[in-house]
């Protein structure tokens, strides 16, 4: 028995050490890659802004000098490519003859309007690198793709070293644990030996025998009690871990969402510091971007506080009777100027024969406003948003329907998750925080209701709320 326990102990140690090492290295590598990707995207946006500024100021653009300048500052490789795959300039190679890059995976995605990172071996530098390429931008009558890349061989070397030291740690861990575990297991088995001996003596009638363990019947009772206690402890620990994981995920997502605008603001502040001379137009443009990112931070913080308020039962506001017809009219009055600003037709059909519901009126209005603002935001100018409210079979139904861009089928189940965006870049540019629909879902749950989403790409989306009257 001792050998079996010892072998199990050693095997678990090996598995645990190896799995922990792999998970840790994967986590570190993902953080490194994500950080590098954000850096490349930020720098590419800065280069595009510089190109647009030069174009607006009718300045001649020397692409090779520009590539060299930004490559030196950002320690990356920069390539300017047209939408046919022809290389205009490359910071790594000053040759005038290049292969056509239209078959490069990152260039293919850029031509399709996608911005995603690609890891591959560079055919020119022969190094493992991370690539990003912005969708084409119109510069001087030419569709220009800005591609950035950076070597990731450093993290690959770190991975190999980490694996080597993991195996070394496993080897010494086995040696140490074998000697310590042997004596430790022997110590652990002593109470069981005493229990066996005591059971035999009690079976022979020596009822005055006393040990730290109980008789056979009492062992069963103790095991049963222990199992019940362990079950309760396990449940409690599981709940605590779930809460901890939710907290970690939330903190991680918040950190990521805060880092993006802060990185942008920091980058432009450094740009302002580094430019000894700057004209009024460039300065105002940079300040406008900083103002936009600052406002996005404020919206994000407000949404986080709002979501925290809704989720916190202790802060649950007093429930009142809500006049649906009146409340919906008030909401539409707020939304009409927003829709009008985009030349969007806002059609409203609210039944006057709807019974009131009980709940927090501010949350009710917030729920409708979030859905309607989303519909307006993702509907093109000249589009239409239809809002309906009616009662049926003791339920209140509220429908917000648009003829906007729609949502991919695979994205529909996740749209109510915190910080989930169907298209991250576009959503951020529109000022979205990724919390609007999460807030809606929690408010619907507070009303004991349900929410359903129907959507088709290029056709539009419809959110349907069902609340018991």
pLDDT at 425 (0 to 100) = 47
Q: What average pLDDT score do residues 98-124 get?
A: 88
Backbone angle region of 205, left / alpha / beta, with phi > 0 → left and psi within -120 to 50 → alpha: left
d(CA 364, CA 366): 5
pLDDT at 345 (0 to 100) = 92
Residue-wise DSSP of 315-328 = GPPPPEEE-HHHHH
pLDDT at 226 (0 to 100) = 35
Long-range contacts of 372-376 (CB under 8 A, 24+ apart): 372/331, 372/335, 372/400, 373/335, 373/338, 373/436, 374/436, 374/437, 375/400, 375/401, 375/402, 375/404, 375/461, 375/463, 376/335, 376/338, 376/339, 376/342, 376/344, 376/346, 376/402
- The model carries a pTM of 0.42
User: Over 70: is that where the pLDDT of 105 sits?
Assistant: yes
User: Over 70: is that where the pLDDT of 204 sits?
Assistant: no
Phi, psi for 355 (deg, rounded to 5):
-70, 160
d(CA 364, CA 328): 9
Residue-wise DSSP of 393-433 = TTEEEEEEEE-SS---GGGGGGTTSTT--SSHHHHHHTT--
Q: What average pLDDT score do residues 269-273 get?
A: 75
d(CA 84, CA 184): 70
Phi, psi for 431 (deg, rounded to 5):
90, 10
Residue-wise pLDDT tens digits, 45-83: 999 998 898 888 888 888 888 889 989 888 899 999 998
Per DSSP, helices labelled H in 57-144 are 63-74, 105-111
User: Over 80: is that where the pLDDT of 33 sits?
Assistant: yes
Q: Which stretch of DSSP H or E encloses residue 222?
A: helix 216-274
Nearest to 430 by CA among 299, 333, 254, 313: 299
SS3 83: coil
Phi, psi for 279 (deg, rounded to 5):
-80, 165
Residue-wise pLDDT tens digits, 7-28: 776 777 778 777 877 787 788 8
Q: What average pLDDT score do residues 415-438 get?
A: 67
For residue 346, list its beta bridge partners: 385
Strand blocks (E) in 204-344: 320-322
Q: ∠211-215-217 over CA atoms, to 5°? A: 155
User: Over 60: is that where the pLDDT of 417 sits?
Assistant: yes
Phi, psi for 394 (deg, rounded to 5):
65, 25
Phi, psi for 147 (deg, rounded to 5):
-115, 135
For residue 396, list its beta bridge partners: 391, 467
Can you name the CATH fold of 1-211?
Beta-Lactamase (3.30.450)
User: Structural domain boundaries of the chain?
Assistant: 1-211, 214-316, 317-468
Residue-wise pLDDT tens digits, 218-256: 544 543 443 444 346 447 676 666 656 656 665 555 655
| Higher pLDDT pick, 80 / 179 | 80
User: Over 80: is that where the pLDDT of 182 sits?
Assistant: no
User: Which architecture, in CATH terms, is 317-468?
Assistant: 2-Layer Sandwich (3.30)
Q: What average pLDDT score do residues 361-375 get?
A: 90
Q: What average pLDDT score do residues 453-458 get?
A: 92
DSSP 390: E
Q: What average pLDDT score do residues 331-359 get?
A: 90
pLDDT at 276 (0 to 100) = 65
User: Over 90: is that where the pLDDT of 396 sits?
Assistant: yes
pLDDT at 232 (0 to 100) = 60
| Higher pLDDT pick, 296 / 36 | 36
Q: Which residues of 243-258 are buried (b: 16+ CB within 10 A; e: fewer)?
A: eeeeeeeeeebbeebe
Flag the least confident range among 10-24, 110-124, 181-195, 213-227: 213-227
pLDDT at 432 (0 to 100) = 60
| Higher pLDDT pick, 171 / 200 | 171
User: Over 80: is that where the pLDDT of 447 sits?
Assistant: yes
The total of other beta-carbon atoms located within 10 Å of residue 414's CB is 12
pLDDT at 438 (0 to 100) = 85
Distances (CA, A) of 71 to 44, 148, 267, 365: 11, 9, 15, 50
pLDDT at 349 (0 to 100) = 92
For residue 371, list its beta bridge partners: none
Q: Kindly report the three-state secondary structure assignment for every residue of 158-201.
A: HHHHHHHHHHHHHHHHHHHHHHHHHHHHHHHHHHHHHHHHHHHH
Percent of the chain whose predicted confidence (pLDDT) is above 90: 23
Query: What tokens does 435 get?
Result: 């919390």
Can you name the CATH fold of 214-316?
Helix Hairpins (1.10.287)
> Over the Cα atoms of the chain, what is R_g?
31
pLDDT at 254 (0 to 100) = 61
Q: Are strands 384-392 and 345-350 parallel, antiparallel or unpaired?
A: parallel
SS3 130: strand
pLDDT at 424 (0 to 100) = 54
| Higher pLDDT pick, 402 / 192 | 402
Q: What average pLDDT score do residues 170-175 get?
A: 78
pLDDT band at 267 (very low <50, low <70, confident <90, very high): confident
pLDDT band at 183 (very low <50, low <70, confident <90, very high): confident
d(CA 56, CA 50): 10
Q: What average pLDDT score do residues 207-213 get?
A: 50
Phi, psi for 85 (deg, rounded to 5):
95, 0
The total of other beta-carbon atoms located within 10 Å of residue 241's CB is 10
pLDDT at 197 (0 to 100) = 63
d(CA 121, CA 114): 21
d(CA 214, CA 222): 8
Nearest to 346 by CA among 403, 290, 262, 298: 403
| Higher pLDDT pick, 61 / 288 | 61
pLDDT band at 266 (very low <50, low <70, confident <90, very high): confident
Q: What average pLDDT score do residues 23-47 get?
A: 87
pLDDT band at 214 (very low <50, low <70, confident <90, very high): low
């Amino acid at each position: 028995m001792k050998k079996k326990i010892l072998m199990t102990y050693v095997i678990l140690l090996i598995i645990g050490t190896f799995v922990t090492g792999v998970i840790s290295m994967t986590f570190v590598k993902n953080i490194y890659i994500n950080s590098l990707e954000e850096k490349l995207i930020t720098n590419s946006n800065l280069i595009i802004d510089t190109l647009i500024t030069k174009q607006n100021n009718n300045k001649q653009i020397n692409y090779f000098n520009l590539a060299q300048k930004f490559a030196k500052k950002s320690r990356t490789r920069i390539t300017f490519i047209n939408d046919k795959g022809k290389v205009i300039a490359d910071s790594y190679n000053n040759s005038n003859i290049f292969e056509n890059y239209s078959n490069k995976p990152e260039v293919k995605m850029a031509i399709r309007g996608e911005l995603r990172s690609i890891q591959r071996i560079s055919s020119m530098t022969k190094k493992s690198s991370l690539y990003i390429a912005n969708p084409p931008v119109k510069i001087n009558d030419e569709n220009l793709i800005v591609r950035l890349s950076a070597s990731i061989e450093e993290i690959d070397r770190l991975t190999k070293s980490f694996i080597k030291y993991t195996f070394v740690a496993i080897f010494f861990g086995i040696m140490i644990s074998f000697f310590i575990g042997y004596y430790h297991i022997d110590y652990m088995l002593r109470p069981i030996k005493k229990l066996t001996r005591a059971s035999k003596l009690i079976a022979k009638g020596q009822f005055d025998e006393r040990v730290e363990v109980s008789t056979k019947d009492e062992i069963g009772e103790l095991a049963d009690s222990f199992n019940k206690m362990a079950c309760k402890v396990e449940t409690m620990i599981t709940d605590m871990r779930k809460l901890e994981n939710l907290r970690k995920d939330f903190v991680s997502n918040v950190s990521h969402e805060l880092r993006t605008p802060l990185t942008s603001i920091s980058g432009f502040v450094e740009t302002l510091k580094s430019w000894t001379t700057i004209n009024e137009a460039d300065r105002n443009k940079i300040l406008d971007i900083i103002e936009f990112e600052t406002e996005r931070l404020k919206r994000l913080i407000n949404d986080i506080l709002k979501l925290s308020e809704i989720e916190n039962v202790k802060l649950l506001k007093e429930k009142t009777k809500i006049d649906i017809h009146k409340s919906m009219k008030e909401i539409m009055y707020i939304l009409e100027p927003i829709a009008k600003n985009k030349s969007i037709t806002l059609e409203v059909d609210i039944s006057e024969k709807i019974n009131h519901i009980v709940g927090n009126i501010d949350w009710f209005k917030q729920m409708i406003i979030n859905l309607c603002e989303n519909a307006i935001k993702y509907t093109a100018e000249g589009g239409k948003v239809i809002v309906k409210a009616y009662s049926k079979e003791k339920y209140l139904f509220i429908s917000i329907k648009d003829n906007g861009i729609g949502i991919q089928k695979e994205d529909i189940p996740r749209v109510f998750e915190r910080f989930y965006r169907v298209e991250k870049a576009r959503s951020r540019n529109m000022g979205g925080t990724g919390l609007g629909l999460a807030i809606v879902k929690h408010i619907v749950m507070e009303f004991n209701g349900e929410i359903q989403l129907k959507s088709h790409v290029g056709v539009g989306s419809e959110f349907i709320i069902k609340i018991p009257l």
